[in-house]
A = this chain, B = another copy of it.
Amino acid sequence: MDADEQGLRARLVAAGVDLVLSEGQSAVSLREIARRAGVSHGAPRRYFPTHVDLLSAIAREGFADLTARVEQTMRDVDADPRTRLTALARTYLDFAAAHRGMFELMFRHDLLASGRLRLRETSLPLFAVLADLVAQVRRPTDAPAAVLAGALWANLHGIAQLWAWGSLPLATGATDDDALLRAALDAHLGPSPA
């Protein structure tokens, strides 16, 4: 009595989210979503002209979820900016690890490039939170705030990627999961306090 009362559009997106979370990115077909939503394969077309539109809507949900988690973390961790930044980074990486399929979907460049549902813009608030914190901890000799934030974000994202496909342990010798993160933060922001 929740999904049933929503419109079909919302049910389709919800079914897609479930699907990508449980079965992975490649399982998110138009027809399977329609099946799970209990409608014919042509029905989604009313709301999503093309498959990419539906996928973009699902990815949006992913960004909304991640953004909500990050904001929750920001509420939970009321400390110095450096600590908050570390918590943010952990939230980001935890999300990527726990929802691999969704994470992949969110950053599929063909979806972002399609411009459907202004997907790329959806990720901006997320980046803004990071950029804001970075600006607070930036030292005078560091790169400009925007560049510093971009470089750190790239590092985070790269760790999530490499971490996801398991080449890192193989290449670096199965290091602790947090070691890379700490190294990255220390590198960009200076050694962590105490």
**Which chain B positions have C-beta within 8 A of A156?**
158
Interface centre among A120, A154, A170 (most CB of B within 10 A): A154
Which residues of A are interface residues toward B (Cβ below 8 A)? 26, 100, 104, 107, 109-110, 112-113, 120-121, 123-124, 127, 131, 143-144, 146-151, 153-159, 161-168, 170-173, 175, 179-180, 182-184, 186-188
Query: Given A147-B172, A149-B171, 4 other A-B contacts at CB below 8 A?
Result: A150-B183, A151-B183, A156-B158, A161-B161
Q: Are A151 and B109 within 8 A (Cβ)?
A: no
Q: A147 to chain B: closest CB distance in Å?
A: 5
**Which chain B positions have C-beta within 8 A of A166?**
112-113, 120
Q: A177 to chain B: closest CB distance in Å?
A: 11
Distance in angstroms between the alpha carbons of A98 and B146 in the assembled complex: 25
